[in-house]
Amino acid sequence: MKVYSEFDLTEYNSYKVRAIGKTVYFPESEEDLISLYKESTEYIVLGSGHNVILCKDYYEKPIIIFNGNFNEIIWDGNVGLQLEAGVMMHDAAAEALNRSLKGLEIFYDIPSSLGGAVVMNAGASGEEIKDVLVKVRYLDLKDLQIKEILKDDISFEYRNSFFQKNTDKIVLKAWLELALSDKVEIKNKMELIKEQRWAKQPKDFPNAGSVFKRPPGYYVGAIMDDLQLKGYKVGGAKISEKHGGFIINFNNAKGEDIVRLINEVNEKVYEKYHFKLEVEQRVIE
């Protein structure tokens, strides 16, 4: 297990916000993780650093990172893949393509680790990780036991799951069941998805994807257009002119800039629509 002091987290969050972790751990096995939690239960856990907002400049609380570790992919010889929590979903999609397996094309351009994808039930265009999931292996911090749970017991919802509601369960691995298909068709779908996303999303500035969950009966982008909030700034953060559902770091934004921007946007949304947008991203305090 690798351990660092005064660790720069800039490259470990997709907003590229500069923050320092007093002590940062990169566990390399389940045994490493259990040993950490035997010492303490007070950790911040980060996956690939996507879909999170580091709102502090300095973190006293120790941090566990699944990025560049816990990244083994095992093919079962048929239509199944086993993915450890630190596997990036674009790597999983590439492995599926290599095996002529369909079902992960939508994740080819979704920046997320497997662990993060399971926790938030990641997806796009009507497809979600739950559609191909069989079961999940996790560490239960209540008793430090390794357990497994079937998909039907994970209570998946739109951008939500059992693991999001129970933060004392740490995703370690997932089993996926895909389907055989033509490799050219799989590749074409992957490239089309990437092309469509790049046409709509602000890929030229650091961001963490969609900031808000879609409220029933509305679209976030349409709300931002109606309130003329595209380009609205707080410090170095602003609502993207390209897609109103994204916040970008356009000028050395701090995490507190992003949080303030979210709060100010929600004040304006409430004034007009009488509800607040639910934040999809996790604020790390």
Catalytic residues: 159, 210, 280
Among 95, 79, 76, smallest CA distance to 87 is for 95
- The order of strands in the sheet holding 237-239 is 207-210, 246-249, 237-239, 233-234
The one-letter amino acid at 175 = W
CA distance 45 to 64: 5
CA angle 98, 29, 7 (to 5 degrees): 100
CA distance 152 to 30: 24
CA distance 52 to 14: 8
Report CA-CA distances (Å) from 242 to 61, 143, 171, 225, 276. 36, 47, 34, 11, 22
The one-letter amino acid at 205 = F
Return the bridge partners of 58, or none: 20
Burial degree of 145 (CB within 10 A; 0-12, 13-18, 19+)? exposed
CA distance 265 to 257: 12
For residue 270, report the phi and psi dihedrals to the nearest 5 degrees: -65, -40
CA distance 96 to 261: 39
Among 77, 105, 78, smallest CA distance to 90 is for 105
